[in-house]
Amino acid sequence: MHTVETSKHFTKYVDFCSGVESYILNNDAAPLQKPVYFASQSTSKDCRYFWFVCAFPPNGLWEGSAQTMACLDLETDEIYYHPDVPAGAPAIDPDTGELYYCTQNLVLKKGPQPDSPVTRIGRVPEKYRLFPGRVATHLTFSADKKELFCDISSGNETYLTSLNIQTGEFEHWYTLHGGWNHAQFNPVDKDLALFAMEFWQDLQTGERHRIGANEEGRLTRMWTIRRGEEPVNHLPVYKEASHEWWSGDGRKIYYCDWRYGIGCIDLDTQERKIVHPTGYRHGYSTRDDRFFVGDIFEYNDQWKWYRGCATSVNFYNSETHRPIDIITRNPALYTQDDPCVYHIDAHPRFVFNDQYVAFCTTVHGKPSVGFTSVAHLEEMTR
């Protein structure tokens, strides 16, 4: 079987400052390519299949609609483009390589081959369906792989539900008013999920709402819910919190504080601490908590962020406490006045059983997917 280093679909890139070696996926499938959202699984555990998002600018709306999927098969070293598959909250079955995804009201499944049949997993019940809305922010599997978590957005309401893959039935967990998203099943506990309070706009009044905060000014963004129980809020170490994810053992919530670094909340002890003092926007961890990756926005001269601004991608070895840039600078291909209509933040994540870091990069003048060997990064930070 081919590897990232031996596949014909990659070009080697050496960072001009750190010397880290990466392999950039050639734009063979689409002019714009990027990984699926970092909280979602994108690879099979046999290291054969990698699914990624494709787009054909300018065919897109704000935040990246009109996106489709493609799959890299490292056994055949071929890319299979799936123009019939929208990039709707995709999640990959790590055992089979099959892709689960959403349309406006359906959850579907398709195999990696272009001629693989499409299977309907479930249809959103009419009682949850209003326009506009979504089926899920990003699909995640329950620990026993029998369910998918769906944070159904319907008008001004959010319904926290789980979808039984075998029966197609939705189980209602809780109803919330306002902006809530990024729900994720716990990786080891099938009855526990993480979700987030988000900015939102009232669809009836037009009023815009910010994420709530307690009396100390700490954002009340991060929440968990146990099946059949009330939601529980988890406050950050300082004030900021965003882009949360589960640790591999399911005991901890990690999140990003753009001022102070990656935060950690231990659900057993309630201990809260900063585990890496770099102000990441998105981050991720290996299942054993040894290594972390994150991206940082490189602001313009007016200190303003915009979609498509320059970014950097960083690796951190928690055993040696040494960081290193994977990509010192992803060049900005867009401007403040003409931002990107697709969500091309770097969104780094460990993939292929924590053997590689995958991320979105613009170093070749087009958004695509970069891969960097974790063994190489460990050696560079030893």
Contacts of 31 (CB under 8 A, 6+ apart): 55, 56, 57, 366
Report the residue count for the chain: 382
| Mean pLDDT of the region 35-48 | 94
Q: What is the percentage of the chain residues whose pLDDT exceeds 70?
A: 97
Res 15 pLDDT > 90: yes
Interval 339-349 mean pLDDT: 93
Distance of CA 326 to the CA centre of its chain: 18
Closest CA to 21 of 370, 336, 287: 370
**Average of per-residue pLDDT across 146-167:** 96
pLDDT value, residue 300: 65
Average pLDDT, the chain: 94
The DSSP bridge pattern shows strands 242-246 and 252-257 to be: antiparallel
How confident is the model over 173-197, as a mean pLDDT? 97
pLDDT of 268 above 60: yes
- pTM confidence score: 0.95
| Helices H / strands E in the chain, number of each | 1, 31
Own/partner pairs for 76-81, CB < 8 Å, 24+ apart?
77/2, 77/7, 77/8, 77/9, 79/9, 79/28, 79/29, 80/112, 80/113, 80/114, 81/29, 81/30, 81/54, 81/114
- The confidence band for 301, taking pLDDT boundaries of 50, 70 and 90, is low
pLDDT score recorded for residue 62: 54
Tokens of 361: 């990069």
Spell out the domains of the chain, with CATH numbers in brackets.
10-380 (2.130.10.10)
pLDDT of residue 59: 76
CA distances from 236 to 163, 208, 216, 232 (A): 30, 23, 11, 13
pLDDT band at 304 (very low <50, low <70, confident <90, very high): confident
pLDDT at 61: 62
3-state DSSP of 21-44: EEEEECCCCCCEEECCCCCCCCEC
